[in-house]
Structure 1
Amino acid sequence: MSFITNKHKFIFGLAGFSNSGKTTISISLIKIFKERGFSIGTIKHAHHDFEIDKPGKDSWRHRKAGSQEIIISSPKRIAHIIEHENYNDTKLKELLLMQKSKDIILVEGFKKANIPKIEIRREEEGKEILSFKDRNIFAIATNNPKNPEIKKSDKYILDLNKPSEIVEFLISRFNLKKQSNNKKYKIRDISFNKARRIIQINTKPLKQKETLPINLCNNRVLINDILSEINIPMKINAAVDGYGFNYAKYNPKTGSIFKVEKIIKAGLQKVFEVDKKDAVRIFTGSLLPKPINTIAMQEVCKVKKNEVFIPPKIKKGVNCRPAGENLKKNQIVIKAGQKINTTEIGLASSLGLTNLPVNRQLKIVVISTGNEIISTGKKLQNGLVYDSNGPMIYNLCLETGNKPFLHKVIKDNPAILKSSLEKFIKAFDLIIFSGGASEGDEDHIKSVIMDLSGIIHFWRIAIKPGRPMGFASIKDIPIFCLPGNPVAAQICFRLMISEGINIRMSANKTELFKAQAIAEFDHKSKLGRKEFLRGKMFQKNNINYAKINGKPGAGVLTSLSGSNGLIEVDENIEIIEKGDIINFIPFKEAQI
C-alpha cells in the first residue's frame, strides 16, 4: 500500500509494544498538525471488544436489539458503528476508504500494514527493536536518542519528548502540503534557514567504514569514537627547566638549601628514587623521581657548586605536570562524526595510533545541463557558452574530501535525463545537477524526478542569487539542482549543498560562521528575501569593515574572484547604509 493515495495525501503509522506511549504521542502529533492547519484523521486498532456509546442511550438500545450498523448524526458530529458477526478484523485499506479526504491519516496499531511507520520506544521497557525486522519503519522515536543500540539502526532517530520536532521532520521528509480546496494559490518560496533545516533533516547519513593510515585521513569523517588507551603524560613530569625537591623538607618562609645529587634530562629513563633531603637538576619533560614533588624555575634559584638555594614562597606541586593532565586513560579524544583535520591527526598521533576508522568517500556525480552549454575545448559558436559550472562544482566537491565524477553535459531532453538519472541513482551516493531548476519549458529535472517516484523537498528559495534551487531524493539518494548562473551556483553550494554533503558523509551538523563588520557601502534590497553580496572584509585600526566586491549579477563570476566571503542581507532589511553593522560569512579558504 502506498503512503500517498488519490484520497489521502499522506498515511503513516505508529508501531510499538503496549504501554510504549503510542497514544500519548499520537495526541500530541494530532494537536500540532491541527494547529499548523493540516486536516488529519486517525485509525486505531483495538485487540478486544470496546464500547463507545453509553448503556441506555438510543444508539446502544438499537445495537442491543440487533442493528448491525448504526449511524448517529447531529449538527456537531456523526458516529458510525458497525457490528461484526464474527471476530474478523477489517482491512486497513477498507478503513481508509471510509475516511473522508485528509492531508494526513495517522494509524495506531496495524503492525503488519505495509505503510511507513515510526517506531515508538521507551528505554525502560527493554523490548526488542522492531525496526530491525520491519522494513516499513523509517524512523525511531525514543526517550533516549543517545542509546548506542538504537544508533546501530539505519533509521532516523527522533526524540519522543519533542513532538514538535517530529512534526517538523515529517513535514520536511515527505514534503507535506495542506489541502488547497482546489483554489489557485501562489507557490511561496521557502526561507533560506528553512531550506538548510530541510537539507539537514532529509539527507540520510551513509556509513561505510574503512580503516586508513593516519596520514591519509585528512578531510575524512571519523566513524567511531577514539579513546585514549594511555594517560598523557604517562607519568608526572617537569613542566619547566629548574630544580626539583621534596616539599616536606622545604621551608616556605625562609627558603631552603638542598644538595644537588643528580641531573635528569628528558627522554627514555628508568624510574628511580633520590634521597628525600636532596634536590635534582631537572629539564622540561623529564620524569620526577620519588619523592620529588615540586619544581622551582631555574631563574629564581641560586646555585653554588653542588648546592641550590630554593627561595621562599614556592607553592607545593608547582611546575609539575600530573599524569593524564592532557588526556586521561579511556577519555574520548575525538568523537565520531568529527571531520578530521590537522589537529585531529596530531591528537591521534600523540596516542600512538597509526590507523583510523573513517567513512568511505562519497561518490558524487556532477552534471551540467542545457542545450546552450558545451564542454571546454570545443569550438564556441553563436548562442553557446562554455561549461564553467561543472568544473567549478567538481572542484568544490573535491574540497569536501570526496570522489566527484564530472559527467559530460546533458541536453534538455526529458528521455535522456530520465535514463541518465536512473543510472546515477544506482551508481552514486549524491547527485548534483547544474541548470534545469527553473520552471521554464526546457527545465525538465523536477518532472523527471517525480516520474521516478522521487520526493521534492523544495524547489525555490527566497534568496538572491539562487532562487531556482531544488532539493529532492530518490531511494534516499540526495539530488541537488543548482541554478545555471555560475555565481548563484557557487553560493548555493557553499551555503547549502556543502552541508548536505557533510551529513551524507556522517559528519556532525554545522552552523554557518558569521563575523560582524561595519559596512563600507550603501545598498538597497528587497524585503522578504535574503540576499548574499560578494564581499571583501578587511581591518582598519583592529576593526572589521566590509565592502562589496565586483559587479552585481548572478552570472558575473568575476565578482567572486577576489572576494573572501559573503555579505548577508537579512529578509527584513531593505536598506544598508555606510556605517551599519552587517553579518559577514567568510569563505573557508579566507580563514586561518
Structure 2
Amino acid sequence: MIKVEEAIAIIEANSTKMPVELISVHKALGYVLAEKVFSPINMPPFRQSAMDGYAFIHSIKHQYDVVGISQAGDHSNIKLKPNEAIRIFTGAFVPDAADTVVMQEHVMANKDSILIATMPPKLSNVRPKGEQIGKDEVVFEAGTLITPAAIGFLASLGITEIEVYKKPKVAVLVTGNELVKPGKNLKKGKIFESNSVMLEAALQTIGIKKTKVYRVKDNLKATKQALKSILKKFDIVLISGGISVGDYDFVKEALLQNNVKELFYKINQKPGKPMFFGSKNETLVFALPGNPASSLTNFYIYVSPAVKNKMGFSEIHKPKVVRKLNAAITNNTGKTLFLKARYDETNVTVLNGQSSAMLNTFAIANSLLIVPQDVEEYKKNQLVTLLPID
C-alpha cells in the first residue's frame, strides 16, 4: 500500500501525451494545442472605427463638411482635408488621413455638414491596425485548451486548421452481478448501476465526450475475456468494482492474466483504498472501487489528471484552495482522508454522510477536504486545504 503522493507521482510518470493530429478549427472545441499558433495577419488588418459616427482630422474646429461614407466592408480612398469628415460605421475602414471618430450621439448633423457638440480627445474611437495582435505574433501557446472564444479568434485570423493532441479513447467496464440498469425492474438483492453514467459525466467535464461502456458478470473467465478485447481498442480503461479482496473480485487477476503491468495496488487513503493502476503498452488501466463515492473521489484525485495529461493540458491539477474550518476534525485512521465538503469565500464545512457508498452529499459538495495521513486533528478555525470539484 502506497501513499497518496506516491500514487499521483507514478500516474504522472506513466501518462504520456497522445499523438498529434491536424484538425479543422470548427471541430477543435475541447482539444489542446500541440504547437504554437502564429497570426498570419494583423488584427484588425486596417484601422477600424469603434463607433457609429464621423471620422475627421482632429482640430479646434467643431463644424465639418461631410464628403463621403465608409461602411463595414468598404475601402474608402477619400482624401480628407482638415475641415472635412466622413460618415462611418462600427468596424468600417478609417481613411488614412483621419485620426479621430466622434460618436453620432455627440453630433448635430444635416445632409452636408456636422457640428460636434462634444469634442472627443484626439485618436478616440479608432482601433489601430494590429490592436489585438500583430502579424507573426503568437496567438496561443502549446498546451492551450481550445474554447469557443479561441475558435472565434482563430477564425477571425483566417486560420482553418490547427495541430492538437488526439483525445484518448476511454472505456468503462462495469462489474457486478447485483447491478441493474436504471429503468429496469429492481428485484430483491439488486441495485441500480450508477457508476458508469457518473464516470461518463465526469469525463465530459474534462472534454471526453464519447465513452464506451461495457458490462461483465462477476466471474474470472468473463472478466478476462472482456478485458482482452477492451485493452486492444482503448487508450484508457476505467473498471468499476471487483478490485477488492472478496471471493467474487476477479478484476486484478484478470488484468494480470492479460499482461497488464501492475504499477501499484491499494492507496493509504479513505475512501478509495482498493484501487489498481497499471499499463499495457500505451494503455492506462484504473481499476476503481465499486462504491460510488470512492470511485468518484479517485476519479478526481487520479483519473482526471491522467486524462488531462494524455490530452496535452499544460496544467493537469486543479489549483487547491485554503479555507477556515467551521468545526474540528479528528483523523485516527492513519490514512489520508478525502472528505466531502462545501466552502464559500472564507469558510469550509464538512458534510454529513461521508460513507463511501453515499452520493447524496457528494452531489451537493463543491470540494474534497484533504486531511494528510500524518495529521490527527484539525481544530476549529484552522486553515485547511481543499480540492475544488465540478
Report the TM range for the smaller structure's normalisation.
Answer: 0.7 to 0.9
Residue number in structure 1 paired with 2:263: 457
Residue number in structure 2 paired with 1:236: 47
Residue number in structure 2 paired with 1:403: 210
Q: How does 1:72-91 map to 2 (within 5 A)?
A: none
Closer/same/farther in 2, CA of residues 291 and 279 from structure 1, 3 Å limit: same
Give the Cα–Cα distance (whole angstroms) in 1 for the partners of residues 373 and 88 of structure 2.
63
Q: Work out whether 1:557 is the aligned partner of 2:368.
A: no
2:23 to 188, 201, 211: 211
Tell whether the 8 Å contact from 1:259 to 1:278 is kept in structure 2 after alignment.
yes
Give the Cα–Cα distance (whole angstroms) in 1 for the partners of residues 9 and 67 of structure 2.
64
In structure 1, what residue type is equivalent to 2:218?
K
Closer/same/farther in 2, CA of residues 380 and 310 from structure 1, 3 Å limit: closer
Residue number in structure 1 paired with 2:80: 275
Q: TM-score, normalised by structure 1?
A: 0.58
Q: Work out whether 1:341 is the aligned partner of 2:152.
A: no
SS at match of 2:341: strand
1:379 deviation in Å? Answer: 4.9
In structure 1, what residue type is equivalent to 2:74?
Q
Closer/same/farther in 2, CA of residues 311 and 334 from structure 1, 3 Å limit: closer
Q: Work out whether 1:259 is the aligned partner of 2:64.
A: yes
1:533 deviation in Å? Answer: 1.8
Tell whether the 8 Å contact from 1:472 to 1:478 is kept in structure 2 after alignment.
yes
Residue number in structure 2 paired with 1:330: 136
SS at match of 1:380: coil
Larger RCO, structure (CA 8 Å, separation 6 or more): 2
Q: How does 1:90-101 map to 2 (within 5 A)?
A: none
Q: How does 1:187-198 map to 2 (within 5 A)?
A: 188-191=1-4, 193-198=5-10
* Alpha-carbon displacement from aligned partner over 1:88-114 (angstroms, at most 9, x marks no partner): xxxxxxxxxxxxxxxxxxxxxxxxxxx
Q: How does 1:4-15 map to 2 (within 5 A)?
A: none
Runs (5+) with no aligned partner, structure 2: none
Closer/same/farther in 2, CA of residues 307 and 260 from structure 1, 3 Å limit: farther
Runs (5+) with no aligned partner, structure 1: 1-187
In structure 1, what residue type is equivalent to 2:231?
I
1:357 deviation in Å? Answer: 5.0
In structure 1, what residue type is equivalent to 2:387?
I
The structure with the largest alpha-carbon Rg is 1
SS at match of 1:558: coil
Give the Cα–Cα distance (whole angstroms) in 2 for the partners of residues 223 and 378 of structure 1.
48
Tell whether the 8 Å contact from 2:241 to 2:289 is kept in structure 1 after alignment.
yes
SS at match of 1:504: helix
1:499 deviation in Å? Answer: 1.8
Q: How many residues align?
A: 385
Tell whether the 8 Å contact from 2:218 to 2:250 is kept in structure 1 after alignment.
no
2:195 to 369, 389, 404: 389
2:242 to 409, 433, 436: 436
Q: How does 1:63-78 map to 2 (within 5 A)?
A: none
Closer/same/farther in 2, CA of residues 262 and 572 from structure 1, 3 Å limit: farther
Q: Work out whether 1:536 is the aligned partner of 2:338.
A: no
Q: TM-score, normalised by structure 2?
A: 0.84
1:270 deviation in Å? Answer: 1.6
Q: Work out whether 1:580 is the aligned partner of 2:388.
A: no
1:488 deviation in Å? Answer: 0.8
Tell whether the 8 Å contact from 2:40 to 2:135 is kept in structure 1 after alignment.
yes
Tell whether the 8 Å contact from 2:336 to 2:372 is kept in structure 1 after alignment.
yes
In structure 2, what residue type is equivalent to 1:189?
I
In structure 2, what residue type is equivalent to 1:205?
K
Percentage of identical aligned residues:
26
In structure 2, what residue type is equivalent to 1:408?
R
1:553 deviation in Å? Answer: 0.8
Residue number in structure 1 paired with 2:57: 246
1:472 deviation in Å? Answer: 0.6
1:351 to 154, 157, 160: 157
* Alpha-carbon displacement from aligned partner over 1:541-561 (angstroms, at most 9, x marks no partner): xx4433233412111121212
Closer/same/farther in 2, CA of residues 572 and 296 from structure 1, 3 Å limit: farther
Give the Cα–Cα distance (whole angstroms) in 1 for the partners of residues 119 and 202 of structure 2.
61
Query: C-alpha root-mean-square deviation of aligned residues, in Å?
Result: 3.3
Give the Cα–Cα distance (whole angstroms) in 2 for the partners of residues 242 and 516 of structure 1.
51
